Amino acid sequence: MKPDHFVVQSPSAPPKQLFLLYHAAGDNPVSMGQIGSWFAEVFPQALVVSIGGPEASGPAPGRQWFSEAALSDTSLQQRVDAAMPLFLQSVSEWQQLSGVLPEATALIGFSQGSVMVLEGCKAQPTLAGRIVAFSGRYASLPEQATTKTTVHLIHGEEDDVYQAELAQQAAARLTSLGGDVTLDIVEGLPHAIDQRSMNLALDHLRYTVPRRYFEEALSGGKPGDDVITFVS
């Protein structure tokens, strides 16, 4: 089944940025769209779309990308890999529809949605310019990294679904591979998104300068004129 979607914001002029949101298992695109409204308010020139998982999960209208029943590290990678072609297609289709380049695309996930966006950029390193991963993890830690994608990991200190150590391990691995990553552990926060974590996400998108810009400057180049940065 093709993923459903909910358009949170569609600007009247051609969008300068694309925000794609991916929800937790058992949630739905309309509910995740409430998180998208925060991004829409700060980035009025962005197309903001919440994407639903392709499978039913729990009571309607709950959706998922893969089943979390009897999940292990090995089966997690297998299930993510099986869902990945449709996930990558969802990103590509919205980039084509909006006319927004990968550099100006932000993928935002929560829980299972974060697993998909992290693994998506592992599978296709030029998929998006930014990732915001709330309370997620890699199915397995990456073996390579790129500065073409800036990864923002935001995690609750008291998360009992995906422990905060998983985010710390991911940040350490990306850093060791020369990737571009930030990590914020929110004190006392369980498996959830609160005002503090939202503020961190928005501040990173507005104020954190991607490492690739520094590298281009040091090499004598500059960001291309067709690349739209995340400036509100």
Sign, CA dihedral 64-200-36-13, equals negative
What six digits make up the tokens of 96? 């084509």
Q: Which of 50, 90, 98, 111 is catalytic?
A: 111
Q: Check residue 225 and give its pLDDT.
A: 37
Q: Check residue 3 and give its pLDDT.
A: 82
Q: Check residue 216 and give its pLDDT.
A: 65
The SS3 call for residue 205 is: helix
> Active site includes 111?
yes
> Active site includes 226?
no
DSSP conformational letter for 20: E
Rounded CA gap, 147 and 45, in Å?
25
CATH of span 5-218: 3.40.50.1820
Rounded CA gap, 9 and 41, in Å?
9
Instruction: Tokens 């990732």: give the residue.
Output: 131
158, HSE (Cβ side, Cα atoms, 13 Å): 7
> Active site includes 23?
no
pTM above 0.75, yes or no: yes
Confidence band, pLDDT 50/70/90 cuts, at residue 210: confident
The pLDDT tens digits of the residues spanning 153-175 come to: 999 999 999 999 999 999 999 99
Rounded CA gap, 35 and 32, in Å?
5
Rounded CA gap, 25 and 41, in Å?
26
Name residue 186's beta-bridge partners.
156
Rounded CA gap, 36 and 13, in Å?
19
Instruction: Tokens 């990553």: give the residue.
Output: 181
Q: Which of 5, 27, 90, 159 is catalytic?
A: 159
63, HSE (Cβ side, Cα atoms, 13 Å): 21
DSSP conformational letter for 227: P
